[in-house]
Amino acid sequence: MLSIPSAVRDRLVALLMCLLLAGVAPVHAQSGDAGVARALQQAVARPAPSDVAPAARAALAFTRDPAVSARVQQDTIRAFGRTQAQIADLDKVIGSGEMMREFDAILRRYGYDPHNLGDVLAAHLLISWEVANDRDSRASPEGQRAVRRQLIGPLAAVPELAAMSDAAKQAQAERTAYLTMVSALSYQSLKRQGDRQALAALASGVQRSLQVHGVDLQRLTLGEGGLVAR
């Protein structure tokens, strides 16, 4: 859980929940969306390979530029904030860099690379699965590690992703990171409060967000092969 004051956290979660359920998110359409959707469907159709070609990992890697991070931060705050008070709350956790630092820490605990778009998208898929199914992926560490192997190859084969500049890969990764953390923060807070109705609404919203890419999170199970259909 992000270490922010509880009053700010509660206001932030209420705001983010409303926006999530309304379908508002700081992730913009990309020219490779159709390819990404096919890659996700291909990835979860079979267990993870035992290894991934270094060239595939390299195709999705990027070097972080602070100027790109600052631009994505401000775009995200503007996408979510509707009032000056909301913008101030968002700035405490997004503009400060705290939310991105927490996301990076989560990825490293999974054994993922925060500077790889494939790993960021794998983390988004895994955390979305947790929220949609009210499950904890820590019960299957080998499954956590397998999900990144599932996605890297299919994603690296998407021409639009492979052709992205470092800045474009970073921007997409960071927009995805914020969307992922919004879901995770909302889930953690609602879980702590024991609000089953709001948790169900959040799960439904996250489920729909992946269904548009042809992935049914509630039909996936996590095991040694990663996230595969039951």
Residue 1 placed within a domain: no
Q: For 158, left (φ over 0), alpha (ψ -120 to 50), or beta?
A: beta
What domain count does the chain have?
A: 1
pLDDT for residue 193 = 84
* Percent of the chain residues topping a pLDDT of 70: 86
Which class for 92: exposed (0-12), middle (13-18), buried (19 or more C-beta within 10 A)? Answer: middle
- Which residue in 120, 125, 132 sits closest to 187, CA to CA? 132
- State pLDDT tens for residues 146-201: 999 999 999 999 998 889 999 999 999 999 998 898 888 888 888 888 989 889 98
Specify the residue for token string 């992000």.
2
Contact predicate 77/94, CB 8 Å: yes
Alpha-carbon dihedral angle through residues 76, 60, 103, 94, given to the nearest 10 degrees: -20
SS3 state at 228? strand
Residue 145 lies in a domain: yes
* pLDDT of res. 2: 43
Q: Identify the domain containing residue 220 by its residue range.
A: 6-24+32-229
Burial class (CB in 10 A: 0-12, 13-18, 19+), 114: buried
Q: What is the pLDDT of residue 4?
A: 45
Residue 225, in any domain of the structure: yes
Residue 137 has pLDDT above 70, yes or no: yes
Task: Tell me the per-residue pLDDT of 28-75, one tens digit each, with 9 for 90 and over.
Answer: 435 457 888 899 999 999 999 999 999 999 999 999 999 999 999 998
Whether residue 42 is contained in a domain is answered as: yes
